[in-house]
Amino acid sequence: MTSAVPVGRPPAPRLDPVALTPPVPWEFASFLEDAEDAASDGVQPVGRPGKVGVLDLSLGVDAASSVQKTGVTSRYVKAPMQFTRPLYIDPADPGEAFVYVRSTGGGLAQNDRIRQRVTLGDGARATVTTPAGTPVHRMNAGLATQWISLTVGEDAVCEYLPGQNTLFAGSRLLQVTDVDLADSATLLAADVILTGRLARGERDLFDALGQCWRVERGGRPLLSDMMCVVGAGQGRSEMLLSRWPVWGTVLIVPPAGSSVKELLASVRDLLVERCAGVAAEDLTAAASTMVNDAGITVRVAGEDPVTVRAIVDAVHDHARRALLGRPAVDLRRM
């Protein structure tokens, strides 16, 4: 006879550190095996209190609302993860939910595991963001991971716009973002990463970085983009991060069957306009299509985080106007 799980207590896999860790690329795993964790005494292992943050959040439409307001339908949160109640700050769509996700831990430290699952039901509209960027601290052992899964239902719109990650010298980060889209779903996602504390002259001194974007629709991959950098300074390879310490990514995926040719052309024109007058060694940008022209991937690289963020935001605003018919909203992040 099996015992029932007590009411209100999540099943064990939800809190199992193994289940909270995304697949580790072999280059990353090999680096960790070879690294000398000489100063690992006293390091809190994976799974200790405060080292595992979980957010399971479902959002759906309130059919009784005159503006089809999107709200929280279910949630499970484990510290250090937290989120705000939905805010409704878009005057052009008063029913869209803006959810700010945050960690009380002051950044990512060694052996931290952050797991986020956000599900948008049919017709839901939501922007998921953070109130500030995330510092990734120096690590003497292990690594920190952030694993984000977004599931977007029919006719739903998901905008995923976290603050930037800043990689301190000696840091180790593996970040995986998985997106599963229904046929009529729309995705707008963007992030920025800094390879060091640039104001103090620190760049490309992190120990290891793995960053993965995966987008699927109906079980078919639209995008699988993986980058893995191991060893301080190795990111400067022309095959990886090259000379630029700031990188921005924007993903634009309209409903299935939509043509992206005109949008791609207008995005490229925007990038040319925003990069005009700046030397290529200081700023560059490009846009390409996903599998079967199902979406657009934009990359921006530069020396100045403010400039890169401004271009990322401009591309998001342009795509939002084209696909949703309304401009972007000031998220007022730090």
Give residue 4's pLDDT. Answer: 45
Task: Determine contact, residues 93/83, Cβ cutoff 8 Å.
Answer: no
Cα separation, 195 vs 189, in Å, equals 20
Residue 268, both tokens: 């490229």
pLDDT > 50? residue 282: yes
pTM > 0.75: yes
Q: Which of 235-239, 240-244, 246-250 shows the lowest per-residue confidence on average (mean pLDDT)?
A: 235-239
Q: Which of 122-126, 234-238, 289-293 shows the lowest per-residue confidence on average (mean pLDDT)?
A: 234-238
Average pLDDT, rounded, for the chain: 91
In the chain, what percentage of residues exceed pLDDT 70?
91
Give residue 3's pLDDT. Answer: 41
pLDDT > 50? residue 134: yes
Give residue 73's pLDDT. Answer: 97
Residue 276, both tokens: 């005009």
If phi > 0 it is left, if psi is from -120 to 50 it is alpha, else beta; for residue 45 that is beta
pLDDT > 80? residue 273: yes
pLDDT > 70? residue 8: no
In the chain, what percentage of residues exceed pLDDT 90?
77
pLDDT one-digit tens code per residue, 77-121: 999 999 999 999 999 999 999 999 999 888 999 999 999 999 999
Cα separation, 259 vs 162, in Å, equals 27
pLDDT one-digit tens code per residue, 162-185: 999 999 999 999 999 999 999 999
Is the CA virtual torsion 40, 46, 52, 58 positive or negative?
A: positive
Give residue 331's pLDDT. Answer: 92
Confidence of residue 36 (pLDDT cuts 50, 70, 90): low
Confidence of residue 200 (pLDDT cuts 50, 70, 90): very high
Give residue 17's pLDDT. Answer: 73
Mean pLDDT over 13-41 rounds to 78
Give residue 11's pLDDT. Answer: 52
Of 32 and 54, which is predicted with more confidence?
A: 54
